[in-house]
């Protein structure tokens, strides 16, 4: 599982390749190149500032389709827009001061700490053991393997920060096991694809930490805001899987291999292999909730704890090599993420110069959109963006533009962070063009995964349609009951 690629890579590549093959990909690249050239030239025509801002957005999307790393795809249109609007001196000033100002932020030190924690747990083999533990303890439930996959995915995504990485891991482990047990292939595939949704909301969520940096809200309260919605998503998906399994027995017939005789020794042995993961999550949440330590200190504690666990779990198997590899990967990931944050700030400054952010707020006000109507509009926009972007690029593109609108509609920035992360994750799995659908279809072509059963793209989309109603329910609940996200931060602040 490569966090750098999952968090910061150019997201359109897998989807485009899987969707249309080599020839279609070349057509997309050719069109994207034309769009990039045209939008770049257009920015230097005598246009109103708002038009330059729109062309900058088009340029960024075109660069993403050309598979340019997302950070660079944001920096290029930002600097081009500044040059077109204010000239070379502003560009030089921005390049001189912005990078240091943006990343020399004490609260952002939590990012490398949480990434190091996730990589160390992965290197120690703990995250892989979550699936086995889920099967041991939940196999007795109707659809127990799918339930175990769902909850294991929540844990994996929480500590890894990558839905793509979670999908890769669970698809290769979970799908074959469920197919062997006689599960309907749609339930097996669907439970894997949606498994990462709750994990991106449960601390320590890298996505929420990055959102806090973009929106300039405290990291601790932002992480706590994800707990209620994360638990809600995991519970509702679990209930839905159990209902499917009971109502349509053909979906999860419950063969003997799924329901072995109760072996408490095996169950507790599975917990002994993974106990640091739930303990670490509980330690982070309890420490921040009680005020014992801040989010930044929580990250340091988590990283130190993970180093100790890696030394213990990998003793006799070159533990220091595992720690060194995790540290190297952390540096690479953090460099990419911080470069992306620089791109976000540069893009935000350029949008301020063009007036596009305030213009969007005025447009929403002119259309008399209330809070609910605006959020429904954003739901649609995120789903469209999910056709070619991963959640992080979606968030960093939209949040800087939306800040004035959120303030005008009195929408809590903490709540919107949860909403944006959830919608970003939902968008990349939504039919008919969510990019995770194409990724899992590619994985399921492997005979070791599909167990000799043909799994078509249509099967993947049908699997997703099984889970979409519950995802819509979660979205509606979040919109109409924002307290689900805000009540824990309010408790800690004494409000």
* pLDDT the model gives residue 413: 93
147 close to 141: Cβ distance less than 8 angstroms: yes
Has residue 10 got a pLDDT over 70? Answer: no
pLDDT of residue 77: 92
pLDDT given at position 80: 93
pLDDT tens sequence across 436-487: 777 788 888 888 787 788 888 888 888 888 788 888 888 899 999 999 999 9
Residue 418 has pLDDT above 90, yes or no: yes
pLDDT of residue 128: 64
Contact present, 270 and 132 (Cβ < 8 Å): yes
C-alpha of 194 from chain center: 11
Q: What is the pLDDT of residue 15?
A: 41
Q: Is the pLDDT of residue 11 over 50?
A: no
Q: What is the pTM of this model?
A: 0.76
Residue 111 clears pLDDT 90, i.e. is over it: no
For the segment 12-34, what is each residue's pLDDT rounded down to a tens digit? 444 444 444 556 678 878 888 89
In this prediction, residues 177-187 reach a mean pLDDT of 81
Residue with token string 């993947």: 460
* Tokens, residue 105: 């932020």
In tens, the pLDDT along 364-393 reads 777 888 889 899 988 888 887 776 677 777
CB-CB neighbours of 366 under 10 Å: 8
Domain boundaries, the chain: 105-495
Give CA angle at 327 (322, 328), nearest 5°. 100
229-288 pLDDT tens trace: 998 988 888 888 888 777 765 555 554 344 444 467 777 777 777 788 778 878 887 887
């Amino acid at each position: 599982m490569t966090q750098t690629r999952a968090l910061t890579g150019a997201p359109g590549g897998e989807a485009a390749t899987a969707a249309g093959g080599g020839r279609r990909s070349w057509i997309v690249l050719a069109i994207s190149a034309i769009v990039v050239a045209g939008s770049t030239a257009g920015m230097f025509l005598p246009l109103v500032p708002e038009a330059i801002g729109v062309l900058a957005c088009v340029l960024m999307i075109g660069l993403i389709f050309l598979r340019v790393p997302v950070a660079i795809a944001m920096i290029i249109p930002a600097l081009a827009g500044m040059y077109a609007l204010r000239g070379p001196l502003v560009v030089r000033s921005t390049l001189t001061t912005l990078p240091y100002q943006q990343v020399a932020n004490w609260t952002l030190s939590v990012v490398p700490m949480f990434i190091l924690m996730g990589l160390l747990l992965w290197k120690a083999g703990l995250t892989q053991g979550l699936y086995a533990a889920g099967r041991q303890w939940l196999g007795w439930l109707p659809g127990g393997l799918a339930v175990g996959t769902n909850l294991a995915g929540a844990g994996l995504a929480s500590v890894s920060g990558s839905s793509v990485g979670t999908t890769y891991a669970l698809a290769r482990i979970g799908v074959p096991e469920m197919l062997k047990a006689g599960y309907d292939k749609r339930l097996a595939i669907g439970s894997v694809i949606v498994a990462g949704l709750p994990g991106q909301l449960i601390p320590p969520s890298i996505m929420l930490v990055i959102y806090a940096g973009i929106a300039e809200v405290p990291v601790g309260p932002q992480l706590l805001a994800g707990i209620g919605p994360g638990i809600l998503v995991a519970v509702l998906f679990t209930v839905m899987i159990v209902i499917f399994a009971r109502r349509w027995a053909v979906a999860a017939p419950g063969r003997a291999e799924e329901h072995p005789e109760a072996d408490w020794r095996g169950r507790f042995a599975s917990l002994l292999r993974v106990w640091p993961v739930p303990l670490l999550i509980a330690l982070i949440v309890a420490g921040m909730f009680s005020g014992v330590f801040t989010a930044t200190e929580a990250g340091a504690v988590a990283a130190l704890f993970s180093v100790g666990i890696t030394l213990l779990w990998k003793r006799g198997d070159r533990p220091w090599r595992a720690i060194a590899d995790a540290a190297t990967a952390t540096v690479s990931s953090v460099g990419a993420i911080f470069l992306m944050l620089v791109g976000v700030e540069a893009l935000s400054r350029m949008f301020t110069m063009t007036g596009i952010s305030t213009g969007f707020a005025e447009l929403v006000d002119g259309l008399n959109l209330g809070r609910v109507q605006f959020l429904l509009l954003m739901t649609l926009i995120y789903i469209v963006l999910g056709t070619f972007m991963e959640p992080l690029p979606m968030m960093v593109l939209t949040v800087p533009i939306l800040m004035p609108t959120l303030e005008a509609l009195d929408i809590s920035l903490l709540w919107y962070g949860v909403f944006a992360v959830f919608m970003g994750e939902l968008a990349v799995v939504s039919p008919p063009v969510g990019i995770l659908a194409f990724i899992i279809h590619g994985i399921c072509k492997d005979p070791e995964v599909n167990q000799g059963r043909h799994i078509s793209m249509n099967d993947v989309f049908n699997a997703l349609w099984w889970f979409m109603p519950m995802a819509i329910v979660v979205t509606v609940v979040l919109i109409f009951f924002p307290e689900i996200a805000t009540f824990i931060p309010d408790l800690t602040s004494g409000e």
